[in-house]
Amino acid sequence: MARKIGVIGGSGVYDIDGLEGAEWRSVDTPWGAPSDQILTGRLNGAEMAFLPRHGRGHVHSPSTVPYRANIDALKRLGCTDVVAVSACGSFREEMAPGDFVVVDQFIDRTFAREKSFFGTGCVAHVSVAHPTCPRLSAACLTAGRAAGITMHDGGTYLAMEGPQFSTLAESKLYREVWGCDVIGMTNMPEAKLAREAELCYASIAMVTDYDSWHPDHGAVDISDIVAILTGNADKARNLITRLPALLGAPAPCADGCDRALDHAILTAPSKRDPAVVARLDAVAGRVL
């Protein structure tokens, strides 16, 4: 099986430069339409698929992003690895606006989203103890540093529902009590769904602001965020162009991301709802 890199672009990252044979493709999924068409092509010899998470022109809020359709569509196109980039606030002085953080943990505080492909008719439980792929994350870290980006290795991402930014009390709680490093609105349930779909997943948090905890920076201001987003988008594209050479030839994931469903499905074969199983053809066809 050939390696194919899927990229989910966050706020401000709506395309990738330099794709050979670039084509915007519509993909139908049992979970509805993805956020947008998917830009496919080749980049430095590797097959790529790029999906703007909010849609071109930023039409989806964090709560209305069709997360299941997005992950299904990338899997359906043959993606093996997914790199998610997203704008985030920082809880750490040293993680400054313009820096990137390679996230390795999440705290999920979202509540208005469908979080699983599975349910009544076909029940499954996957482990997300380590929700990102160490190999893919390491490649992103190396690519970012080679591109001259200030990269931070590891961090806990607080996923909030939004669309409003944090209150000061929430910001202090997440930073001082829970020990989070960055805050965003879109990596959950995305990371959980990627694990259910047996995709290697890496999360790159592009810091735009200090949330509301910082005594010298005041409340989050959207105009300031937009200014940082522009620079971050260019950095993200530069990072992505370096990934194909670092990832190399396809191989089984050493951490088992591509085998997450081996022992996850609990519903007996005779009790599985055929309609539910049919809907899982791309996500779980390997085991169903």
Q: How much is the average pLDDT of 146-162? A: 97
Q: How far is 273 from 79, CA to CA, in rounded Å? A: 27
* Annotated active-site residue in 36, 72, 104, 211: 211
Q: How much is the average pLDDT of 33-49? A: 95
The domains of the chain are located at 81-284
30-40 as b/e: b if 16+ CB within 10 A: bbeebbbbbbb
Q: How far is 48 from 240, CA to CA, in rounded Å? A: 10
Catalytic annotation on 234? no
Residue range 57-112, pLDDT digits in tens: 999 999 999 999 999 999 999 999 999 999 999 999 999 999 999 999 999 999 99
**pLDDT at 1 (0 to 100):** 64
**pLDDT at 212 (0 to 100):** 81
For residue 138, what are the contacts with CB-CB under 8 A and spacing of at least 6?
none
Q: Is 100 exposed, middle or buried (0-12, 13-18, 19+ CB in 10 A)?
A: buried
CA distances from 241 to 29, 166, 172, 186, 236 (A): 28, 33, 37, 23, 9
* Annotated active-site residue in 209, 255, 258, 281: 209
Residue range 225-264, pLDDT digits in tens: 777 888 888 899 999 999 999 998 889 999 999 999 999 9
Residue 162 has pLDDT above 80, yes or no: yes
Q: What is the DSSP string of 23-49?
A: EEE----TT---SS-EEEEEETTEEEE
Cis amide leading into 189 (omega within 30): yes
**pLDDT at 133 (0 to 100):** 98
Bridge-based pairing of strands 156-159 and 105-108 is parallel
CATH number of 81-284: 3.40.50.1580
**pLDDT at 241 (0 to 100):** 93
Q: Is the pTM of this model over 0.85?
A: yes
Q: How far is 42 from 19, CA to CA, in rounded Å? A: 5
Catalytic annotation on 211? yes
Q: Which two tokens stand for residue 104?
A: 């390795």
Counts for the chain of helices (H) and strands (E), in that order: 7, 11
Percent of the chain with pLDDT over 70: 98
Residue range 171-185, pLDDT digits in tens: 999 999 999 999 999
Task: Tell me the average pLDDT of the chain.
Answer: 94
Are the C-beta atoms of residues 139 and 246 closer than 8 Å to each other? yes
Residue range 97-112, pLDDT digits in tens: 999 999 999 999 999 9
**pLDDT at 12 (0 to 100):** 72
Q: How far is 85 from 237, CA to CA, in rounded Å? A: 10
